[in-house]
Structure 1
Amino acid sequence: MKSSTILVVDDELFFRRLYANLLSENGYQVETASSGEDAVIRLAQGDIDIVLADLVMPGMSGMGILDHCRKLRNPPDVVLVTGHASVESAIQALKNGARDYLIKPFDPTELLHVVHTCLEQRHLLDENFVLKAQIQLHQRGQHLAAQFDLDQLFTEALAAVLQEAGGGRGLACLINDGQISQLASTKDLQETEAMALMDALQDHLTNGTELRILTRTELPEAPQLPEGLHTIGIFPLRSPYGLHGAMVLCNPLEKDFDSDLPRENLCYLLEQTALGFENACRFKSARDLIFIDDLTGLHNYRYLQMILEQEILRAERYGLEFSLVFIDLDFFKQINDTRGHLAGSQALKDVAELLRQCVRDSDVLFRYGGDEFTGFLVETGCEGAAVVAERIRRSIQEHVFFPTSDNPAKITATVGYATYPTDAGTKQEIIHLADKAMYAGKQCRNAVRGAWQLAEMKDEPADDA
């Protein structure tokens, strides 16, 4: 126990020396790091039993180190230290897997007691390697089952399963209507290879419910399959509504899998991934009910408020800009009055589709209410917003609505836009200015107006829409 190694991580030299001297005097081997990034480099070399890390540091925080340690094959115990403690931060640290939590200043005997207890328990676990491996497997499985974010789930599940398999390549994907809609793969598996592999595995995924191990000879000949392909493991991911995804494992490029693959452990991790996948699908469905407009499939006003709060913080942190466009359909009431509300609903759906074609995948569209729409343009300045706004106006003007009816129709739109932080500095201001610019354009209709033009315009009331 006396040869155990403790890594002290603190951005303040005084505390690094204080902890190092105290622990060294009591027979422990101590190494230090002045940042979370340096700690990660040292942890990659292994042979660290305990990490004593400050909770608040520039760059990677103590929580970041804790999260990194949890993903290691043989993770050290992590004890977090802070002078800015609260009940919430302590609970969060322990929930995330911290071994203990110390508040500066603390009695030296308290630190020694925590270290002694940690190492004693690690020593007991090391005496039973099988038990330790089972506990770690269970913890990884629990973490996967509780993951609601699909991107994160795919990334972490691939890492965990391939680690258990002793290495390899892999992919995870979403499948909608038989088509791959979202794909995550390891760095050594190109997207073209992953797509070709999924095409070759279609017949094996249709009715499968468990992990299946195939050889290359069981797949049809196809171009662009991964090089050095010998053994493939496939596992379907299902939601309550059927097959909606898959995980695929391939042998490493330079060799095949070991002959004694830990199939039981792999199945456990994959089953927990499947549970996490089902939970993530349920979570997404529930979130969509809250944030998606039923008619158009666009996001709603509630989601706009949330996005703006998040993006303003990101813009402030990284010095970015973004724009907001407001779109109001001109004389839309006449559609409802002359053609009925079903026709009006169909026209709104058509407009939503036109808007999707006018923006990038990274931009976010909203139905603000009634016949008003909003577009959030990521990292887009005033000039870019003007281009998108004009594209939207022209696209709606040129579109023929109800083309198969006896009386096709044309609709126009007025578009206003504002840019953060050029025009506005708060969420309320940018919404108000984009709306006001659109309202100013209503004076002539079928027009585009920017917030920067408001000072040049007279505040005359617009005609009724």
Structure 2
Amino acid sequence: MARVLLVDDEKLARTLYGDYLRGAGHEVTAIASIQEVKEALAREPYDIVVTDLILPTGDGMEVLRHTKEHYPGTEVLVITALDKVDPAVRAIKSGAAEYLVKPVAPEVLQHAIDRALATRELLRENAALRRYVSLLETGQRISTTLDRERLADTACAAFQGMGLASEVVLFERDASGCVRLLSDHGLCGDTREDPRLAFLAPRLDASREVRLLEGIPGPWPLALVVPAVDGEELLGHAALLYPHAPPAGITEATGFLARCLALALRNLGRISEVEDLAYLDDLTHLFNTRYLHQVLDREMKDTQQTHGGFSLLFLDLDYFKTVNDTHGHLVGSQLLVEMGRLLKGCVRDQDVVVRYGGDEYVVVLRHTDSGGAMKVAERIRRTVEKHRFLAREGYALALSTCIGIASFPEHAGDKATLLDLADRAMYRGKKGSRNVIYMAAKDLEATPPARYSQRTGS
């Protein structure tokens, strides 16, 4: 039943009401003064306070105000011998559940307590229902958002509100398992300077369990990491930052929001797949230069946030024009398609292979420095050198390639310079022995303008 705090300066009333309520199954604490009320409420929780309006050191209105101010979940019943309207109105307006006039039969008091507790339960259920409706509406807004930036704003606000977090940082995860920042809410303007990102990102593994990370630099040393999972696929993470232990009872709400976030990320991925069709080369079905510029913009932004790097390979087939002149352009086109397949077989799924134009290709090696890029370039050079193109068609053509390497941010801090340096490095090989690899350098000769206006094999 209920825990009842009974306040009356008359011992007879305390005894009569107390005995009856105990007999009805309630746990009753009977006291006589306002000071005892404050001490009792501070000591342990009560479901309801039953107070006389007239007390030796004050009145029941003070009990009512103190209870509602400091313990809003506790109901208050006011009992008085004053059969007047004004005190009743004041009591009800101040939050009293009932106003009873003495003499009060014990049964009437019991019914009043039952009504007050039932009303409180209905209000709690109503508040819980409103929270669930709000959660569903918020989740719907997240899951139907198809703009990446707007998704980050909406999801961050939702996690912060529902999870009562000091700050929220969102991450997305690609098919290769690489984690990138989805939102920088809670991080400083230049995320490269924020140690929290460097702490969190490496610890976001493939776990699908909600975890608590400790020792985060800054004012909020704890992070509740909630995985965003759709079906069997882990698509991202929400890191909710707290100054101390996360509040109890937020797991259900944050878990639901994380599932909505995962659905939104999956939808964005599907849209990206459709958009990719506009970024494919008609002949080789590799990505085209339009997509290359998008990838470079994205990789530069991600690299600045994660303190990583990536590399660019610019390559050109040696003496490809001879193939066209000897065997015709149809054979040349077939060879370019086979070259595209060869390149994709030499790199990882997360890397991006682009047909730049004619017989020129660009490979974006994600999370790879110049040393790693040199190894990949050598693998490609040897593979092309040993391969016999169009062997099934009866040609078995032998070709070689020149490859130029430029790494971000080691060699350049912007997209145009990075492409230009890789192109210059490749062109140096074209002017020399061919079938060679060169690393970017500031003093390399510029590529002739004619190669920009008509990028064909030579």
Using the size of structure 2 for normalisation, the TM-score is: 0.44
Using the size of structure 1 for normalisation, the TM-score is: 0.43
**Larger Rg belongs to:** 2
